[in-house]
Amino acid sequence: MSTIEQLKQDNAEFQWHPMAHPAAMKKSKPDIVARGEGCWIWDVDGHKLLDGVGGLWASNLGHSATAVRDAIVAQLDELPFYNTFRGTSHPRAIELSAQLVKMMEPDGVASVMFSSGGSDAVETALKLARQYHKLRGEKDRFKFISLRQGYHGVHFGGMSVNGNTNFRRAYEPLLPGCFHIDTPWLYRNPYTNDPLELGEICAELLEREIVFQGPDTVAAFIAEPVQGAGGVIVPPANYWPLVRKICDKHGVLLIADEVVTGFGRTGHLFGTRLWGVTADLWCLAKGISSGYVPLGATAISAKVAQVFNDDKSGQAAVGHGYTYSAHPVAAAAALATLAQIQALDVPGNAGRVGAVMQERLRQLEKTCSFVGNVRGVGLMLGIEMVDDKATRTPMPRSSDIPARVAKEAYQRGLMVRISGPNLILSPPLVISLDEVNHLCDVLEASFAAVEASL
């Protein structure tokens, strides 16, 4: 057996994959990615592909950012690991916290707490939100409200606020006190086709839920500025500003889960800036280190930080943190990443070339009989496939059409991601205009090939 065949067999035998049936991996072997350069990857068989997935919304600087690589190597030589628990720190953690807070000063951020990934960043935010209210004497404020279709990672807190029951079902019962309201989803909602009206209605649903629960029991509302894993759902422009007002009116904290949208993906440095609002806590990961080394961060607004800093009761110690919080190698990678984001104007590129991607792929709604809706902003885009366009009948989970489109794209040299009926694109944010046009060419041909075969 060749080394490559052995690798594939060992994968099926020994490795369990996230969000996959262990046995399914034996039948259909995963794509094994062996090498990366710029926005391109090569599979273990030597097949070259444009990385339409960006690692997993993460490889924002592509796969050969030498500045990040050099920072990692230098840090390994200087100090491979030290912790940041009470009483200790290290230079990279301090420099990164200062750099990140400086970057987010216009958003009202005062401090940051590090972790090892997006799920950690969410967990940290949920716990800080509860502690904030306890410190202020509002001890009953423990509930969380979130959106259906929202995704907030896989820890017990994040899972409890997730809006997709597929991610929750096998692990229930979850955290008590988590409630879900409708996503402002223009393509699929029972209310209206008018975006601004939908924004108002869905914001009102939040207010109604807060009032129904009792405002003095609600700790926070958590949402993604643009939903990613749920199928790239972009809310109407008035939604987040209205949500901000409602949260303020009822003393509810607003947690922006920016694990996907943070650091430029929407064409703005942060998703909250896209909507012209600030949050009280931000969950950050993925793009913070361009995926080179795992890192999560929870950014804390001055409003929240002040309550902790001013506490005289002794209850403000944060009883939370990870061995690898602000891991020096990850912090070094993030410092180099943040410098590159600014030097290359990464959000600007995402906005410019993203607009071309959005414009071109939206045509699929007209040209392809089974594309119901193409939506997105910047360099995040979802293509929802349907059974019947006129009635918007969802494509059944059992349909093999999405997988066939992905396979056609793969064969033509483009890696995409399928999530239910959605094809999701999240390429590196440094992708060039030529590469974006190539991505669109390949995808158009892939949809046309599947359509011709039906």
Contact residues: ligand PLP, CB under 6 A: 117-119, 122, 151-153, 224, 228-229, 257, 259-260, 285
Least CB distance to ligand PLP at residue 121 (A): 7
Which residue in the shown chain puts its C-beta closest to ligand PLP? 118
Task: Considering the complex, state which of residue 233 and residue 260 has its C-beta at the smaller distance from ligand PLP.
Answer: 260
Task: Considering the complex, state which of residue 101 and residue 260 has its C-beta at the smaller distance from ligand PLP.
Answer: 260
Q: Which of 304, 299, 307, 252 is nearest to 272 (CA)?
A: 299
Which residues share a beta bridge with 300? 111, 281
The C-alpha atoms of residue 421 and residue 109 are separated, in whole angstroms, by: 38
**What is the DSSP track for 250-311?**
TT-EEEEE-TTTTTTTTSSSSHHHHTT---SEEEE-GGGTTTSS--EEEEEEHHHHHHHHT-
Task: Considering the complex, state which of residue 134 and residue 265 has its C-beta at the smaller distance from ligand PLP.
Answer: 265
Least CB distance to ligand PLP at residue 79 (A): 24
Task: Considering the complex, state which of residue 134 and residue 375 has its C-beta at the smaller distance from ligand PLP.
Answer: 375
Least CB distance to ligand PLP at residue 352 (A): 24
Task: Considering the complex, state which of residue 380 and residue 431 has its C-beta at the smaller distance from ligand PLP.
Answer: 380
The C-alpha atoms of residue 206 and residue 124 are separated, in whole angstroms, by: 23
Task: Considering the complex, state which of residue 229 and residue 395 has its C-beta at the smaller distance from ligand PLP.
Answer: 229
Q: Which residues contact 165 (CB under 8 A, 6 or more apart)?
A: none
Least CB distance to ligand PLP at residue 388 (A): 30
What is the DSSP pairing of strand 218-223 with strand 253-257? Answer: parallel
| Structural contact between residues 138 and 251, judged by C-beta atoms closer than 8 angstroms | yes
Q: How far is CA 297 from CA 15, 162, 287, in A?
A: 28, 19, 11
Task: Considering the complex, state which of residue 292 and residue 447 has its C-beta at the smaller distance from ligand PLP.
Answer: 292
Least CB distance to ligand PLP at residue 343 (A): 25
Least CB distance to ligand PLP at residue 404 (A): 25
Q: Which of 377, 349, 382, 380 is nearest to 364 (CA)?
A: 382
H-assigned helices in 287-425: 302-309, 328-343, 346-362, 364-367, 401-411
The C-alpha atoms of residue 149 and residue 229 are separated, in whole angstroms, by: 8
Least CB distance to ligand PLP at residue 351 (A): 20
